[in-house]
């Protein structure tokens, strides 16, 4: 399966939101991905488009304004039809490169404590996965924190 990668655009908002809950297994997710991410973080966010012009994967990421050495990945999603083919890993590889080019030395993401698939994906990509943090994003919204160095260990 061949995809074309390009930067995320504000005009992708409707297409991404249309599939978002389905891609997240029916969870209501759109409140966590407002249009401002498509506008303000488009320079560091990507979509992969399939041969039919449909979005096959997307990643929303940005360099932390508070910690400029930190790249933060807010959302990554792959069309269920295309999972297990390396698209998620490719989105991260491209984003790590972009972060490195902007001076970041580490990367962080946060995912639901219940999302064991996301945790397995991040472990496979070399992230450390924290213990579950109770009420991290409010009552009943437990999360795990995912961290990884972007600096290659020469040893
Ligand atoms: C998580 C997600 C992005 C992974 O995308 P993907 O394209 O299927 O992942 P890849 O094929 O690139 O896999 C990369 C690595 O992660 C591993 N991996 C991916 N999903 C996994 C799963 N559910 N269980 C175990 N390992 C998994 C792969 O085995 C691979 O490891 P390897 O390099 O050792 O072979 C995708 O399943 C998804 O969109 N899930 C719903 C949205 C979501 O939860 N996003 C993350 C939170 S924001």
Query: Going residue by residue through the chain (155 aa), what tens digit of pLDDT does each one get?
Result: 799 999 999 999 999 999 999 999 999 999 999 999 999 999 999 999 999 999 999 999 999 999 999 999 999 999 999 999 999 999 999 999 999 999 999 999 999 999 999 999 999 999 999 999 999 999 999 999 999 999 976 66
Confirm whether 131 is domain-assigned. Answer: yes
What was the pLDDT predicted at 8? 98
At 12, phi and psi to the nearest 5?
A: -85, -10
φ, ψ dihedrals at 106, nearest 5° = -150, 160
Judge whether 35 lies within some domain. yes
The CATH number of the domain holding residue 144 is: 3.40.630.30
Domain membership flag for residue 14:
yes
pLDDT of residue 154: 64
Residue 20: CB within 6 Å of ligand 1?
Answer: no
Total number of domains constituting the chain: 1
Judge if the beta carbon of residue 119 lies within 6 A of ligand 1. Answer: no
Whether residue 155 is contained in a domain is answered as no
Ligand 1: does its nearest atom lie under 6 Å from the Cβ of 111?
yes
Q: What is the pLDDT, as a whole number, of residue 1?
A: 79
Q: Is 145 among the domain residues?
A: yes
**Side-chain half-sphere exposure of 99, counting CA atoms within 13 A:** 29
Choose the residue to mutate in 115, 124, 137 for probing ligand 1, maximizing ligand atoms within 8 Å of C-beta.
124
Asked if residue 110 lies in contact with residue 144, where contact means CB atoms within 8 angstroms, the answer is yes
CA of 24 to the centre of ligand 1 (A): 12
**CA of residue 140 to ligand 1 center, whole Å:** 25
Nearest CA to ligand 1 atom 5: 88
Does 105 reside within a domain?
Answer: yes
Entry pTM: 0.96
The residue segments making up the domain with residue 37 are: 4-149
In a domain, 154, yes or no: no
Q: Which atom number of ligand 1 is nearest to the Cα of residue 117?
A: 23
Nearest atom of ligand 1 to the alpha carbon of 112: 47
99 part of a folded domain: yes
């Amino acid at each position: 399966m061949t995809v074309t990668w390009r930067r995320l655009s504000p005009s992708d908002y409707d297409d991404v939101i249309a599939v978002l809950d389905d891609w997240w297994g029916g969870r209501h997710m759109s409140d966590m991905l407002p249009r401002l991410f498509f506008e303000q973080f488009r320079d560091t966010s990507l979509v992969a488009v399939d041969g039919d012009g449909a979005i096959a994967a997307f990643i929303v990421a940005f360099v932390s304004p508070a910690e400029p050495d930190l790249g933060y990945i807010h959302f990554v999603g792959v069309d269920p039809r295309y999972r297990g083919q390396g698209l998620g890993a490719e989105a991260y590889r491209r984003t790590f490169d972009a972060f490195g080019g902007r001076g970041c030395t580490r990367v962080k993401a946060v995912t639901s404590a219940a999302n064991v698939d996301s945790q397995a994906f991040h472990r496979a990509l070399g992230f450390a996965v924290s213990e579950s943090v109770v009420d991290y994003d409010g009552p009943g919204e437990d999360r795990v924190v995912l961290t990884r160095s972007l600096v290659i260990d020469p040893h």
